[in-house]
Amino acid sequence: MLSELKKEQFHDLFQLFEESFPQDEYRPYELQKALLSLPQYKVYVYEKDHVLGGFFATWEGPSFIFIEHFAVKESFRNNGLGSRLLQEFVKLAKKPIVLEVEPPKGDLQKRRVAFYERNGFKLNQWSYLQPALAKDQKPVPLVLMSYPRALEPKEFQLFKNWVFSLVYS
């Protein structure tokens, strides 16, 4: 169901970034594309009939996998595909998984947290401000979710140090 992104799919991938995330939550085209050359960064895609229907953009850390972005194309939503893809990814991951969500204050944010909780993720008490990813972008307040369990304080600190030194540097 999931395969690694081929370089020629990047344009379609970036369109899905633009459709799925606020501009402050992803890098501009060239910066996002440059990540593909990093060994720690991998993008896994779901395709149906040659249409990119969803993706995971991930970073491999020392003791976890960080899902930086996960999206399902709007025309592919509301049929359980997101849960099926997430469950497949969880099976592929050889390490605990960490991801970020916006604090669950509004309806959309609460639904997103509930989606991840239905799929076994735990909402953590840990939060931080994601730095701006490029010029003309703003920092984004985020809270962590993790699988299969909540992070311990020491694990959070290790993750935060790692994510700020590699992903957000």
What does the alpha-carbon distance between residue 53 and residue 67 come to, in Å, rounded to a whole number? 17
DSSP codes, 6-29: PGGGHHHHHHHHHHHS-GGGS--H
- pLDDT at position 78 is 87
Domain that holds residue 23: 2-167
- The pair phi, psi for residue 42, each rounded to 5°, is -140, 145
135: DSSP letter? T
State how many domains the chain has: 1
- pLDDT at position 13 is 98
- Tell me the CB-side half-sphere exposure of residue 2, using CA atoms within 13 A: 23
Give the tens place of pLDDT for each residue, 45-67.
999 999 999 999 999 999 999 99
Burial of 28 by CB count in 10 Å (0-12 exposed, 13-18 middle, 19+ buried)?
middle
We report the CATH number of the domain holding residue 118 as: 3.40.630.30
- pLDDT at position 132 is 96
Give the tens place of pLDDT for each residue, 136-148.
999 999 999 999 9
pTM for the full predicted model: 0.96
Give the tens place of pLDDT for each residue, 69-90.
999 999 999 899 999 999 999 9
What does the alpha-carbon distance between residue 90 and residue 165 come to, in Å, rounded to a whole number? 25
- pLDDT at position 169 is 86
Contact call for residues 151 and 42 (beta carbons, < 8 A)? no
